[in-house]
Chain A
């Protein structure tokens, strides 16, 4: 999904003249403006409407601090596991042939198709200490899942599961397995090949997936809301805290919390943008110029001017 606005605007066959072009541009940008830009800019305005101090206070209360801590904790727990799984799953799907491969590929997308509330419900049904499938046994063993950070982490891992896989699969397909084979002819074993060839080749895809998954983990509301019990100062993440501020008519506090989350989002956005550019700059060069006239990487390509002898 890493798409940059590459300049190919020179192609103007389907143009329809200036009027059409400006018209379309106005419509597209206007839509984005009304739906995205103005609303997001507005939270910043709203948050500081009553002064900076009020906003600052709202996000520095012990409750707010705990919410921030818990939000970060969710990310720290869920993202590494999701990343390892994502890389392994992508390798299995791209590099292995086996029965049920298409099914596995489809099943990985399921979290995209399931409502966060249903995800939360499913975890309650499995781990609820009263009548969950495993809840009673786990409770007997002293492990509480629902209404604790454990359950929230599970919910976060559920929603974040597909992101890394989905970003790594196309990269793996594109690089092919030539480089891995070359490494093996040079004596590298499977693990050496993975660490030295495969992982460096897919690192930006992995990073991009991690960024997307992190954004989702930071902002997850529905699934976490269901399993957390929303106990303030205990199982309340930032989004849940925001909601409670809003419901208790602390509107400017809610906007301040929104600003914190929006800033995190903008950081994520910046990271995504940065990664896309790195991705293109370093690894974009097609490894093969299969025929004369094939697309040439934008880095300074030197021709075989010096004679190879």
Chain B
């Protein structure tokens, strides 16, 4: 089912959480809402779910206006950041809850619960209570619970936020595979750009209650629409008025007409990749990403003075939006 948000506004007191936000999500896609905390991404997700009523604007699910439909009747699957596991119910009862509310026959519920617990690999845990599960297991149980009612859309609020790094990596891949299997339109909220790039087919970057840019991960990375997107999706250096990705920084021992002087502070060898941390003449820091062989070839060392030349860079106008120059090929 496709999701469409039109001109949504939401204000909490003086704080504008959503400022005229519009959004379109294709049927069956996997979309990330990416942004720093306070950017309105969670509010947008809650507005789509019906947990929050927008002050203005509309929410459409597969073309149908759902703005006035209460959360109970929207048939959305929602996963909470802290799982919101029903602590007094077993895993089985948690997953069965939505079906029981819908008064499905007992056998059907049992079958469906079994099916879902298999899907999330919790077959052996049906009679456990949430407090007996690990964080990752609780999250998978919450997913099974949300999926049990065959929701039109699946909404996940920071689904991996409360987990440690290793479990988070595993669950990410697992979510992508799950989506391939189930094919339900999915939106998840995250503040981790790597997570968004890794999992999502489409990323919607939000900042200060507004959508900065929406598109495929590579599009956002290669063609950021605003300075915010450029620095939030991937890292970016500032050299004068230019914004440069670390892997687009070239180093040389001799100056050229357009190069900048920089001093190497530290060389960090991360396996194949080497991060060179420098300070520019104007005092700004600069990071270059090189390969091991490049560093060896240049015989770089701490304290050296080098000359920096961006191979690709971007210039944005004063207020950080509207790239003035789409791309500069300087090398």
Interface residues of A (CB under 8 A from B): 175, 178-179, 181-189, 192, 196-197, 200-201, 203, 282-292, 297, 299-304, 306-309
Bound Cα distance A183, B101 (Å): 9
Q: Count of A-B contacts with CB under 8 A? A: 130
Known: A285-B129, A290-B162. A302 touches B134 (CB 8 A): yes
- On whether the beta carbons of B140 and A308 are closer than 8 Å, the reply is yes
Which one of B88, B101, B102, B134 has the greatest number of beta carbons of chain A within 10 Å? B88
Over the window 76-96 of chain B, the binary record of Cβ atoms lying under 8 Å from chain A Cβ atoms (1 yes, 0 no) is: 111010111111110000000
- On whether the beta carbons of B98 and A187 are closer than 8 Å, the reply is yes
- On whether the beta carbons of A287 and B85 are closer than 8 Å, the reply is yes
Bound Cα distance A91, B227 (Å): 47
Known: A178-B80, A290-B162, A302-B133. A186 touches B88 (CB 8 A): no
Chain B nearest CB, measured from A174 CB (Å): 11
Interface residues of B in 128-172 (CB under 8 A from A): 129-137, 140, 142, 145-146, 149, 162, 164, 167, 170-171
- On whether the beta carbons of A308 and B170 are closer than 8 Å, the reply is yes
**Across-interface contacts of A285 in B (CB, < 8 A):** 87, 129-132
- On whether the beta carbons of B87 and A185 are closer than 8 Å, the reply is no
Bound Cα distance A192, B98 (Å): 11
Bound Cα distance A287, B94 (Å): 14
**Across-interface contacts of A200 in B (CB, < 8 A):** 88-89
- On whether the beta carbons of A192 and B101 are closer than 8 Å, the reply is yes
- Contacts A287-B87, A299-B132 given; 9 further ones with Cβ under 8 A? A186-B145, A188-B101, A196-B97, A201-B88, A203-B88, A286-B131, A287-B85, A292-B164, A302-B134
- On whether the beta carbons of B101 and A186 are closer than 8 Å, the reply is yes
Q: Report, nearest first, the 5 A-B pairs whose CB atoms are least far apart.
A: A285-B131, A186-B98, A178-B84, A182-B84, A185-B78
Known: A181-B51, A297-B131. A290 touches B72 (CB 8 A): no
Bound Cα distance A200, B89 (Å): 9
B61 at interface by CB-CB < 8 Å: no
**Across-interface contacts of B177 in A (CB, < 8 A):** 309
